[in-house]
Chain A
């Protein structure tokens, strides 16, 4: 006697959140900000090539300063790469606080809707040093969250970035990386490749990330 086939329940896609924390202070004016814009556009293009990643990866962008959420979490198809302009100071501490708050809020939304998610990534890119005084507290928060495995925090310095301070912000196990020149494109293609790997992986806490070909790890 023929038997019917199992039907499938519709569950929402797993989400793979990545938050870009971008320095748009005055010193980024000119070529740096243009290359950063191109890099973000390349990120979108590259994620779109991968069906699973484009359904899973969600991007948010916070720029500083002043600190502004210019793109709330959205899947790649809903995401329009911004045209960033440079002006203002470098309130890194305030920006990190804003990012971590936003991330926690996003997780609550996921939980409330039964959406499963991967460990979020926060990507800080800066060419300066903090102009606010709260950055040590923010750095502590980063390290605590990282230790509790609430997120993966990456710090990237551009050109004359204050790598000493970045080293105090970035978690020990993941020291800051100094970008090769203004090669944002390679950085974002790497980020996209990493996101594809993360979003296609199921179990296994340690996803082997592609080699960092776009910068130097300074220790």
Chain B
């Protein structure tokens, strides 16, 4: 079988009140045994961060797609990327993202900082996932027979209202990279709007009762992108909005090997 995935974002209540657009963006690309995913959260203080988040995600995915035809396939079924290889690939992704943002800033006549956003990217095969994170948000993965694990410790400054953006001078240094080998089952990437309800912050562990139903939904649905009501309703639910007034994004991926002989 193959990967199934869905990406949805919903505007936070605070942005609705201020008539601001949703500044989150998430997308993915599946090709046979591999999946690429990216989510970005536009900085609240940046004027065009909705544009920045979307451009960042699109650019990151495009760059990785091009890469795939060369290097990536070599590693397809076999060994996971080394940490060094992954870092090199993602450093290049970041470089291309920044170039695209610079170009956009010039054509829009504003500063690149007006496009500031976080970025989380992963590329996964059935046998490993390589991921990067700049700024806050989270990626949770579950291997077959494994528990949910948070791929990266949170990138918070000392204080909650500080984080790194792809446009920050120290973005490359602050970029976290990790390769997780093992049979992949479920991956959830999200912006920090859902952090408070999904992650226990005292020890930064994923809260299984948050992720289990989402995974179950991915098991049940054969075409998540068409059958998105469950996710949309959840992201817009009053129950969730009572807990967070921020934009929120879910990118869910599930590797279905049930029909493999």
Residues of A near any B CB (own CB < 8 A): 1, 3-9, 11-12, 14, 52, 107, 113-119, 149-150, 198, 200-207
Contact A200 B245 (CB under 8 A): yes
B47 to chain A, nearest CB (A): 11
Interface flags for B115-152 (1: CB within 8 Å of A; 0: not) read 00010000000000000000110000000000000000
Contact A114 B201 (CB under 8 A): yes
Q: A116-B160, A207-B161 are in contact. Are A3 and B44 (CB under 8 A)?
A: no
Contact A114 B44 (CB under 8 A): no
Contact B158 A204 (CB under 8 A): no
Q: Which residue of A lies closest to B41 (CB)?
A: A203
Q: A7-B209, A8-B243, A114-B202 are in contact. Are A201 and B44 (CB under 8 A)?
A: yes
The total of interchain contacts (Cβ-Cβ below 8 angstroms) comes to 106
B256 to chain A, nearest CB (A): 15
Q: How far is the CA of A77 from the CA of B238 in the complex (A)?
A: 26
Q: A8-B210, A9-B210 are in contact. Are A113 and B202 (CB under 8 A)?
A: yes
The contact sample of 22 A-B pairs, CB cut-off 8 A, is A3-B213, A3-B217, A4-B213, A4-B216, A5-B239, A6-B197, A6-B211, A6-B214, A8-B240, A9-B199, A113-B202, A114-B202, A114-B203, A118-B161, A119-B162, A149-B159, A198-B161, A200-B245, A202-B160, A203-B44, A204-B161, A207-B45
Q: Which residue of A lies closest to B204 (CB)?
A: A114
Q: Which residue of B lies closest to A201 (CB)?
A: B161
A208 to chain B, nearest CB (A): 8
Q: Is the interface of A mostly helix, strand, loop or mixed?
A: loop
Q: Is B33 part of the binding interface, using a Cβ–Cβ cutoff of 8 Å?
A: no
Q: Is B77 part of the binding interface, using a Cβ–Cβ cutoff of 8 Å?
A: no
Q: Is B110 part of the binding interface, using a Cβ–Cβ cutoff of 8 Å?
A: no
Q: Is B167 part of the binding interface, using a Cβ–Cβ cutoff of 8 Å?
A: no
Contact A118 B201 (CB under 8 A): no
Contact B159 A11 (CB under 8 A): no
B148 to chain A, nearest CB (A): 12
Q: Which of A9, A114, A200, A204 counts the most B-chain CB atoms under 10 A from its CB?
A: A9
Q: Is B246 part of the binding interface, using a Cβ–Cβ cutoff of 8 Å?
A: yes
Contact B161 A202 (CB under 8 A): yes
